[in-house]
Amino acid sequence: TSSDLRFSIHLCQEESEFRARRKEKVFESIKKLLGPERAPRSHREPQVPTVAVLGSGGGFRAMTAMAGVFKALQESGVLDCTTYVAGLSGSSWYLSTLFSHPEWPRKPVWEVNQEVKVSASHSRFYLLRPQSLRRYVEALWKKKRLGQPVTFTDVFGLLIGETLIPNRMQAKLSDMKRAVQGADTPLPLITCLHVKPDVSEIIYADWVEFSPFEIGMAKYGTFMRPELFGSKFFKGIAVRKYEEYPLHFLMGVWGSAFSILFNRVFQLGDKGECKTTMEEEIASLTVETITSKQSASDSDDE
């Protein structure tokens, strides 16, 4: 029987084909960077490394740092030797802005960075103009009418999108395939955590990975096309499909660590008083507690 989900721990066909094309270009770039004497003799040799650049979280500071790293890597020639670039939170905002740019990778990084600088330097008050608020409300009501959940992440994503990609608010994650189809640039991988509302993320948290080709969880070997993310499934079949989420919504998802902080610091007990600080919560955890709750969580998943 056919399924809209892919159950496997292996790479999808599109990513495998990308890696094969990218390996040839990485081989040439390494040879140019290191010289023919120190470079691998053939792109078919296992000595050709798979290099990844990892970006950290941290809001606009992480985004700014990632922008500087990309500029340096491109100017030094190292970026041409990489196969993957990965990020979360702030660094994912930079990857989203860069890979959704209609002229990337033809346009040099420093020019894209100038656009990011201008966008990030604007006053935030324009985000709260009446016409902007009206646009946000219309977008949220449209999503609500379709039967999809609306949360603060939607609002946060709209604000991030209006700040960084105001001219590309209709861009989608799958649109990034255009930027990587020639394998002239590394493949972007973006991550976030899947958590449960009633369980501390210290005890239960699974990584979710996003690429232009697929979205999924490697722990469970389950992946789907970006176009199906957010759809309703039954036994692996999408029984209710929605439009693909806009990129700005995913940027809100990738940068929503604020929700974890709110749950940690401002979580209220039964009587309304503040529960614990993060340090006290960590100190109260024991190996037995984590093991027992993790076992219960795994049983629920099964």
Name the E strands within 26-152: 52-54, 84-87
Question: Taking Cα atoms as reference points, which of 51, 53, 14, 54 lies closest to residue 29?
Answer: 51
Q: Give the CATH class of 6-261.
A: alpha beta
pLDDT for residue 299: 53
Q: Which pLDDT score, from 0 to 100, does residue 276 have?
A: 46
* pLDDT number for residue 128: 81
Q: Per-residue confidence at 283, pLDDT binned at 50, 70, 90? A: low
Q: Pick the residue with more confidence: 291 or 50?
A: 50
Would you say residue 300 has pLDDT above 90? Answer: no
| E strand intervals along 113-246 | 187-194, 206-210, 215-217, 222-224, 232-234, 237-240
pTM over 0.85: no
Whole-number CA gyration radius for the chain? 21
Question: Which residue carries 């979205």 as its tokens?
Answer: 215
Give me the residue spans of the domains in the chain: 6-261
**90-141: per-residue pLDDT in tens?**
999 999 999 999 999 999 999 999 999 999 888 777 788 888 888 899 999 9
Structure token digits, residue 259: 């929700």
Whole-angstrom Cα distance, residue 83 to residue 216?
A: 20
Question: Would you say residue 206 has pLDDT above 80?
Answer: yes
First to last CA, the chain: 22
Helix (H) or strand (E) holding 81, with range, is none
List the single range of 25-34, 53-62, 198-207, 221-230 with lowest mean pLDDT. 198-207
